[in-house]
Amino acid sequence: MGSALNIGKLFGIQLRLHYTWFIIFVFLTVLLVSPHWLSPLWWITGIITCLLFFASVIAHELAHSLVGRANGIPIKSITLFIFGGVAQMTREATRPIAEFKMAAAGPICSLVIGCLFGLLWLFTPITIEPIAIMVQWLAFINVALAIFNFIPGFPLDGGRVFRSLLWHFTGNYQRSTLIATQVGRVVGYLFILGGILIAFLRPFGMSWFNGLWLVFIGWFLENAASASYRQSQFRETLHRFTASQVMTSDYPVVPSDITISRLVQEYVLVSGRHFLLVADEGQLKGIVTLHNIKTIPQGNWGVTQVKEIMIPINKLKVAYPDQDALSILEQMDDDDMNQMPVVSEGRVIGLIARDNLIRFLRIRSESGI
């Protein structure tokens, strides 16, 4: 998810605000304050309530993240956006029990928060009107969030719980993902259908806007379920291949003792690559990127050698020929890398680039292999 603002870290996890979050923040605040437009007390309580709501959403995502991390699933960031929050993990669970605990942690956290606000509401004197109403709203919205997330359509939390159970009982991850994501798509379509009905029939005093909102949520869920299905298919396919099957042998190699001037003229400008392997007689010494070149002033390019600016092999992650391609992709995700050299007994035998992996799978599926 692009265009997000970093707002700090919690337990080592980056918190981010997507630009669409500001829309929902303003919208919810206005909804909470209406129709008391002229009362500063309502505005202040409205804004605080909205902030508390998003703190609850962060707590929900944090519950997923911390339980995930304790079960060996690293979490990079939590992003708040128009439909709530999302925790970005760099890999999927490898055991159903880990996925079950991680998925259930979020809605359970929301349920607990909802009950706490419910208790607080019982003890709030009804005379302090905006506060009592807002505490009640916080209790309601958190319980609603928990219930909504327990709907068993992937990628909602309930869908993940559902998949982990299927996976546990069938032992087949791919088949379980297929079923859970297809249920997720059905849930998405039901939301769209329900939204359209509400928009036209307006039952229980609901407005056309409630219906429209439901249509949007359904559309979002259907898209996310389809994307999750495609992605898990992609990962499952990668899992069946090794580094030596997906690597490319088309990559430029430069010797470590040439100057940067020669590197730029004879390799970078000719090949147009941003990333070159450094090897002497086949032995991998490191990698050099445009970024490394830029750290040296142009005047010194004639007297500086590649080995002085390269990232040396001992600081480099490399792949091995029989390593499975999925674990390489996960390693690249963990370290924010786009390429990884494949090394056998110290010698470079290939290169794996992220776009190569995607091209490899596309050609494979197009040719029906």
Distance CA 243, CA 356 (A): 12
Q: Nearest distance from residue 69's CB to Zn ion, in Å? A: 15
Smaller CB distance to Zn ion: residue 191 or 241? 191
Q: Catalytic residue among 61, 99, 129, 281, which?
A: 61
Q: Nearest distance from residue 145's CB to Zn ion, in Å? A: 8
| Nearest C-alpha neighbor of 218 from the set 162, 147, 156 | 156
Residue nearest to Zn ion (CB): 106
Binding mask 36-75 for Zn ion (x = CB under 5 A): ----------------------------------------
Distance CA 316, CA 340 (A): 9
Smaller CB distance to Zn ion: residue 99 or 157? 157
Smaller CB distance to Zn ion: residue 149 or 331? 149
Q: Is residue 99 at the binding interface for Zn ion, with CB under 5 A as the rule?
A: no
Q: Nearest distance from residue 63's CB to Zn ion, in Å? A: 8
- Are the CB atoms for 152 and 183 separated by under 8 Å? yes
CA angle 324–329–330, rounded 5-degree value: 100
- Are the CB atoms for 90 and 69 separated by under 8 Å? no
Smaller CB distance to Zn ion: residue 106 or 159? 106
Give the pairing type, strands 4-10 and 311-312. Answer: unpaired
Q: Is residue 184 at the binding interface for Zn ion, with CB under 5 A as the rule?
A: no
Which position among 46, 106, 130, 153 is part of the footprint of Zn ion (CB under 5 A)?
A: 106
In this structure, what token pair is assigned to residue 188? 């998405």
Smaller CB distance to Zn ion: residue 159 or 195? 159
Q: Is residue 157 at the binding interface for Zn ion, with CB under 5 A as the rule?
A: yes
In this structure, what token pair is assigned to residue 267? 């390799």
Q: Nearest distance from residue 10's CB to Zn ion, in Å? A: 16
Smaller CB distance to Zn ion: residue 157 or 222? 157
Q: Nearest distance from residue 136's CB to Zn ion, in Å? A: 23
Q: Nearest distance from residue 209's CB to Zn ion, in Å? A: 25
| Nearest C-alpha neighbor of 342 from the set 273, 269, 277, 271 | 277
Smaller CB distance to Zn ion: residue 149 or 228? 149
Residues linked to residue 254 through DSSP beta bridges, in sequence order: 278
Binding residue count for Zn ion, defined by CB under 5 A: 3
Q: Hey, CA dihedral for 16, 93, 235, 221, is it positive or negative?
A: negative
For residue 122, count other CB atoms closer than 10 A to its CB: 10
Q: Nearest distance from residue 71's CB to Zn ion, in Å? A: 15
Known catalytic membership, residue 345: no
How far is residue 256 from each of residues 105, 251, 308, measured CA to CA in Å?
51, 16, 9
Going through the chain in order, the beta strands assigned E by DSSP cover 4-10, 13-18, 75-81, 84-89, 253-254, 275-280, 283-289, 311-312, 339-344, 347-353
Distance CA 224, CA 288 (A): 38
Q: Which stretch binds Zn ion (CB under 5 A): 14-22, 132-140, 156-164, 234-242?
A: 156-164
Binding mask 113-152 for Zn ion (x = CB under 5 A): ------------------------------------x---
Distance CA 212, CA 196 (A): 7
| Nearest C-alpha neighbor of 319 from the set 261, 267, 245, 236 | 245
The residue ranges that bind Zn ion (CB under 5 A) are 106, 149, 157
Active-site residue numbers? 61
